[in-house]
Amino acid sequence: MKASHPLLLLLMTGLAAGTWWLANRDATQRSTRVDSSAAVGDYINEPLFEQTDARGQLTLRIEAQQARETDTEGTVDLLAPVIRYFPQGHSDWLLHAQHGSLPPDRNILTLNGDVAMEAVSAGSATGAIAHTDRLTLDINRERASTNSPVALEFAKNKLIGEGMQADLKAGTLALQSKVHGSFTR
Q: Are residues 17 and 76 both part of a single domain?
A: no
Q: Does residue 1 sit in the same domain as residue 48?
A: no
pLDDT in tens, 113-122: 999 999 887 5
Do 83 and 164 lie in one domain? The reply is: yes
Pair (20, 107) in one structural domain: no
pLDDT the model gives residue 184: 76
Q: Could you give phi then psi for residue 131, rounded to 5 degrees?
A: -115, 135
Kindly state the DSSP code that residue 5 receives in the 8-state scheme.
H
Q: What is the pTM of this model?
A: 0.71
**Are 76 and 151 part of one and the same domain?**
yes
Q: Taking the CB of residue 112, how many other CB atoms lie within 10 A of it?
A: 16
162 and 104 part of one domain: yes
Question: Quick one: which H or E segment has residue 170?
Answer: none
Return the CATH number at 176: 2.60.450.10
| pLDDT at position 5 over 70 | no
Query: How far is 65 from 135, CA to CA, in rounded Å?
Result: 19
Alpha-carbon distances, residue 93 vs 16, 85, 151 (angstroms): 55, 5, 17
| 26 and 101 co-located in one domain | no
Beta-carbon contacts of residue 84 (< 8 Å; ≥ 6 apart): 60, 61, 62, 92, 93, 94
Q: Are residues 106 and 25 in the same domain?
A: no
Are both 69 and 148 inside the same structural domain?
Answer: yes
pLDDT at 106: 79
| 136 and 112 in a common domain | yes
* Residue 4 domain boundaries: 1-37
Number of domains within the chain? 2
Q: What is the pLDDT of residue 123?
A: 52
Q: Where are the extended beta strands (E) located within the chain?
A: 43-45, 48-52, 58-63, 66-69, 76-79, 82-85, 92-96, 99-102, 108-121, 124-138, 143-154, 157-167, 172-182
Say if strands 82-85 and 58-63 run parallel, antiparallel, or are unpaired. antiparallel
State whether 50 and 133 are in the same domain. Answer: yes
The mean pLDDT of the chain is: 78
Helix (H, G, I), strand (E, B) or coil at 74: coil
Residue with the bigger pLDDT between 132 and 51: it is: 132
Q: Are residues 32 and 87 in the same domain?
A: no
- Across residues 161-173, what is the average pLDDT? 89
